[in-house]
Chain A
């Protein structure tokens, strides 16, 4: 159990491959940010474990807050869509979307994102994205489990330039230059 910065140190200490490291850092920050900004929780727990023999690292970010439906005003399915943000949210509603897209776009057999909130859970891996009912729920807040395998490649970058609804992210900055 630790802080977000502690988990960053844990990631840097336990992973040498650049692709898993990047996704875990990104996902950790997005999920912790969601818990801080949206959950209205007074407690948020961040746990990490390195499963060396099984070739993946798993993070769990959980809070005792109000859940996604109350904070978003909509369902967990909507929460994973691009641009869907919470009531009075300061952001643009891309954190869960991009994190889930990173995994969906990958060819990893050992990675997934699970979001449990309210009466449902969403499961995202490289083959599918499903939302199912959660029976016998004992936890009031939101639980996010991010598992990233060592087999993940750099296809996660497509999460940020993927054509979506006919829109392609233009090059507002950089214009092909290394710096500007």
Chain B
């Protein structure tokens, strides 16, 4: 399972790439911090093992800041943006969700 795709950033997905479908995990709601913590822990664990991850945000219309902070910003603040981008692929994020994610990453990095 997974695609192999080479581009200028040399981002590729290994055959062992884990897929986390947020809608299947939590429903289409914006998510709470308490429900996002187990997902963050899974993502962190997979990255520590050297695995790649696909986070599928299909049908997620909106994401609250606590959820985005927990899933994306906290991990990026720990391992850095480049390592995150080399290990994690985000699929099917709509424009609003992308804005929220970037906003939360910026907030956490600014606060460091």
Chain A residues close to B by CB (< 8 Å): 4-5, 8, 12, 18, 21-23, 25-26, 28-30, 32-33, 36-37, 82-83, 90-95, 98, 157, 160-161, 167, 169-174, 179-180
Q: What residues of chain B have their CB less than 8 Å away from a CB belonging to chain A?
A: 9, 11, 27-34, 61-67, 69-70, 72-73, 76, 81, 85, 89-93, 95-96, 98-111
For residue A18, which residues in chain B have a CB less than 8 angstroms away from its CB?
A: 61
Q: Which residue of A lies closest to B91 (CB)?
A: A179
Which residues of chain A come closer than 8 Å to B107, judged between CB atoms? 82-83, 92-94
In angstroms, Cα B27 to Cα A173, docked, is 24
How many A-B Cβ pairs are below 8 Å?
123
Known: A5-B29, A29-B66, A171-B102. A92 touches B76 (CB 8 A): no
Contact B99 A179 (CB under 8 A): no
Q: How far is the CB of B27 from chain A (nearest CB, A)?
A: 7
**A92 with B27: CB separation less than 8 A:** no
Say whether B66 contacts A25, CB under 8 Å. no
B102 with A8: CB separation less than 8 A: no
B98 touches A4 (CB 8 A): no
Contact of A167 with B103 in the complex, beta carbons under 8 Å: no
Q: B residues within 8 A CB of A172? A: 76, 81, 102, 105-106, 109
25 CB < 8 A contacts A-B? A8-B27, A22-B61, A28-B29, A29-B29, A29-B30, A29-B31, A30-B64, A30-B65, A33-B33, A33-B66, A36-B34, A37-B33, A37-B66, A91-B66, A92-B69, A92-B108, A92-B111, A93-B107, A160-B99, A160-B100, A161-B102, A170-B102, A170-B106, A172-B102, A172-B106
List, in ascending order, chain B residues with CB within 8 A of A92's CB: 65, 69, 73, 104, 107-108, 111
Interface of B is mostly: helix
Contacts of B63 in A (CB 8 A): 26
* CB closest residue in chain B, given A154: B96
Inter-chain contact A91/B65, CB cutoff 8 Å: yes
User: What is the chain A residue whose CB lies nearest that of B92?
Assistant: A179
- What A residues does B85 contact at CB under 8 A? 173, 180
Report the minimum CB–CB distance from A32 to chain B (whole Å): 7
Residues of B within 8 A of A93 (CB): 107
Which of these, A8, A37, A83, contacts B29 with CB under 8 Å?
A8
Residues of B within 8 A of A37 (CB): 33, 66
Output the least CB separation between A81 and chain B (Å).
12
Chain B nearest Cβ from A142, distance in angstroms: 17
List chain B residues, Cβ under 8 A from A23: 62
Least CB separation from B111: chain A residue = A92
| Other A-B pairs beyond A33-B66, A172-B106, 5, CB < 8 Å | A83-B107, A92-B104, A171-B102, A172-B105, A173-B72
